[in-house]
Copies of this chain bind each other. A is one copy, B any other.
């Protein structure tokens, strides 16, 4: 594998692992503030980031040993208003810079597996951002979000609200590969 794409997979694994971790801790904070649906949202999206991290990690199965991941992450936890702002900032960075750039370089270097892994993640980050923005609007006025079941595809991390589709629109996985958070 070409070294620059390889480093991007390493960085993306680091970024997704840290997003997963932040959202688990942000979920606990939301629960403390009695925003039960915001807590559920953080936990569902934490699970999507876990799937993303796993996909990138498997693309690196040819490696054997230690490498330094250089991963942007959002720091400075607080109440749920602050945490949602950090979550939105993190998703925005992934949508506007990280994944478009990593996809472009993977294409340029002909690294199809990495390209697919980046594209799969990229496809769900946009909905993550929208969901967090909806939550921030409510929490800004002291209310919990109204939220239907959140479904996460176990293969690619695609995330949606409502019923699971017959096939994942991103990776094609069947309906039973969706894990509901309700």
Which A residues contact B (CB, under 8 angstroms)? 10, 13-14, 16-18, 20-22, 24-25, 50, 53-54, 57-58, 60-78, 82, 86, 89-90, 93
Known contacts A21-B17, A25-B57; A72 and B68 CB within 8 A of each other: yes
Copies of this polypeptide in the complex: 2
Q: Is the CB of B89 within 8 A of A66?
A: yes
- Tell which of B17, B58, B72, B76 touches A17, judged by Cβ atoms closer than 8 Å: B17
Complex CA gap A59/B145 in Å reads 29
Known contacts A65-B74, A70-B68, A77-B61; A14 and B10 CB within 8 A of each other: no
Known contacts A58-B77, A73-B69, A89-B65; A24 and B10 CB within 8 A of each other: no
Complex CA gap A95/B60 in Å reads 25
Complex CA gap A50/B24 in Å reads 9
- Tell which of B58, B71, B82 touches A71, judged by Cβ atoms closer than 8 Å: B71
- Tell which of B16, B73, B77 touches A67, judged by Cβ atoms closer than 8 Å: B73
| Min distance, Cβ A52 to any Cβ of chain B, angstroms | 10
Chain B residue at minimum C-beta to C-beta distance from A6: B75
Q: Is the CB of B13 within 8 A of A25?
A: no
Complex CA gap A169/B17 in Å reads 29
